[in-house]
Structure 1
């Protein structure tokens, strides 16, 4: 009945003139599926009827709703144009300030603005966003701000994936144009189909806790009760999942290391450019000297040995000196903090439905220090070793990369 009365009210355009900006924001905040309920003309009427000081905001919100139901590129451009103008005029050019305002004044409005301000859209706001990296950072901030206010765990999961993706991007440039990745979809399917004993025990415990709450007739669900022994279950679930995340030959990091780095790509991107320089016609006279030719061949062999050691000994989960480790060290301070975060998230969700999603997000966070360490190893150690080898067998100075 309330929906019918609302639709009857908005069908008369004159009624919009009776609404204050606070009342219009109240409608946006408290009416579900406005993008389905209102036509384009009615959305336009909202923005035109608002008081001047609120018109920019209402125009942006109306366009955000209409954009959700339209594939017209002009609507997308109009939304971005109005949004950028409003942010520059009223929020000092800071999207974060705008989201902070919405979260406090109209949190549900901020919730559907999350869908409009995706990374692709943010990248096109050239006056506000300098590059793709900044777009990712802003998107991550929006997700965490709105997620904190509305307790939306999925927003934190997406923000964590953006953060980890940026870490991968930094490591990627040392390998090739393909992003190092774990197939999270395949991993989730595997976890769903192959629950460990600890996972089954956890789900049984969570179901009991939900029944307890139902018996107590709680109007507001309380946090999931996790005792000390239950926290041990979470640690064991995380250990099992992280091992698969790292070593599974179908979807884990090991599959990438095996196919991309150890077998072909690493040698191609590290050796081929050096060989191309040495074959340059500019050095043909210098390399015609038997002594210089021996020096070049000696250094090239030393450089190749460095790359081979990197491939065979370092870019592994097993081996004499691996850069990656698939085992969780429960005593490590970073792991402890990561487990603590996972347990807090599980308590908030109050069910086992998001268990595997949260476990995968945990794995992405857990691998980050190892990725940073691998990047440092390649950037500093390999460069240092190759430079030392060059100094022991002098090369022509001009044009040879260090």
Structure 2
């Protein structure tokens, strides 16, 4: 009835808001599912594919969370409502004047910005890039809704040290180790280790868990694109915001696109923080007893005590490390192997009896943001057909190869079939669809999706679609994905 009211509600009713309606959203993932329903409804009403893509992204989030069996306790967060409002109020007025003139109002190809010089530059690219730097700086440093805020009130102020230490201190009051701890030399050795351990946790909080500035030079987070990876992501942000405006003619989604890219920019620091915590754990979180102390106490009791202490410290560092992940309400980064398992899990729900022996490669290939829904769609087709024609308890192998020269990923799925007769049937059906017209791919074809797969290639989302039928009982399907950076 009222497009303006509808648009306002669509923007307000994001996952963060919906998650607070406890009587409606009984479980965390339901807020994501509800948001996806809202975006899909609005996208269909307005015939806007961007909203449909965002809905698809969120549904993949839910599927990945189901595969993990949990939602990460990510304590790093940025308040989406407050941040996007800040971008709308403080940055969009200038950006909306600059971007229409960028590249003479035509779509751009990737452009490398010299980020170290944009603050002093006067070109239109420098001015636009400077606005994006302001966005990332606010994303990191804002004390009320940014990364800095959540580093402080959710992690530094007692939470980290308490989580890492409390259960280890409690072990000294347990009666089962009283004989061991009654030995003065052993007890002193353990208390000295606890003191070193607590000192390491305290230094993490006081020196490292900050956005880097003059007062905190060892801060693990930077509000500036200080690496080649971050600069490549920042270049892509400028490109995407500009080209989305050229296609849509409006800036409605720009604050959300910017926020998504800020999460990509900070991912390198989140990963670095997890590695740093692992190093601290290896150096300070492993309790051992020198021979001159251990020979005086009961060997069995000693082994049980050391094993329990090290198990607790390892578990605590694992919990603390899990806080430094993107929250599920942001467009997540995930690993391709995990995405493959998530899609396989979804297909298993549609094919009773389909329970393959999954094999995946060892190397991790992280993807994020808009990358994964195109890969998700393509993988769904490959795995669905593996279920339709394949051996129900056969082998399902997933491999990823990186083509450095052409900057693309090659993704391959190998499945087994029962016999050569089944292989020939699959070959006949699939090859006929591979040769068919794709104009009606999104309208007429069913779940097998071969024409949808070809349509993804025609539209430029994927490439190199291929099926190979190896006698007597193997189907190898593959496609490629062009990397942005």
Matches within 5 A, 1:163-312: 177=73, 179-195=75-91, 199-206=92-99, 229-312=123-206
**Unpaired segments ≥5 residues, structure 1:** 1-119, 121-131, 214-221
Compute the displacement of 1:400 (Å): 2.0
In 1, Cα distance between equivalents of 2:279 and 2:76? 21
Are residues 154 and 243 of structure 1, via their aligned partners in 2, closer, same or farther at CA, if it must alter by over 3 Å? farther
Compute the displacement of 1:151 (Å): 6.2
Check the 8 A contact 1:164/1:368 in 2, yes or no: no
In 1, Cα distance between equivalents of 2:247 and 2:99? 12
Are residues 279 and 243 of structure 1, via their aligned partners in 2, closer, same or farther at CA, if it must alter by over 3 Å? same
Aligned length: 251
2:50 aligned residue: 153
Check the 8 A contact 2:78/2:145 in 1, yes or no: yes
Check the 8 A contact 1:303/1:386 in 2, yes or no: yes
Write out per-residue CA displacement over residues 123-152 of structure 1, whole angstroms, 9 at most, x where no aligned residue.
xxxxxxxxx79x99xx89x98xx99xx763
Check the 8 A contact 2:207/2:219 in 1, yes or no: yes
In 1, Cα distance between equivalents of 2:207 and 2:98? 43
User: What is the TM-score normalised by the length of structure 1?
Assistant: 0.50
Report the structure, 1 or 2, having the larger helix content.
1
Q: Secondary structure at the match of 1:369?
A: helix
Compute the displacement of 1:258 (Å): 0.6
Are residues 276 and 257 of structure 1, via their aligned partners in 2, closer, same or farther at CA, if it must alter by over 3 Å? same
Compute the displacement of 1:254 (Å): 0.8
**Unpaired segments ≥5 residues, structure 2:** 1-18, 20-28, 114-122, 295-301, 312-485
For the aligned residue pairs, the C-alpha RMSD in angstroms reads: 4.6
In 1, Cα distance between equivalents of 2:55 and 2:131? 21
In 2, Cα distance between equivalents of 1:306 and 1:244? 30
1:325 aligned residue: 222
1:381 aligned residue: 279
Check the 8 A contact 1:324/1:370 in 2, yes or no: yes
Compute the displacement of 1:180 (Å): 2.7
In 2, Cα distance between equivalents of 1:173 and 1:245? 23
1:124 aligned residue: none
Report the structure, 1 or 2, having the larger strand content.
2
In 2, Cα distance between equivalents of 1:205 and 1:223? 14
Compute the displacement of 1:371 (Å): 1.8
In 1, Cα distance between equivalents of 2:307 and 2:97? 68
Compute the displacement of 1:262 (Å): 0.7
User: What is the TM-score normalised by the length of structure 2?
Assistant: 0.43
Compute the displacement of 1:353 (Å): 3.2
Highest CA radius of gyration, 1 or 2? 1
Compute the displacement of 1:297 (Å): 0.6
Check the 8 A contact 2:237/2:258 in 1, yes or no: no
In 2, Cα distance between equivalents of 1:224 and 1:151? 21
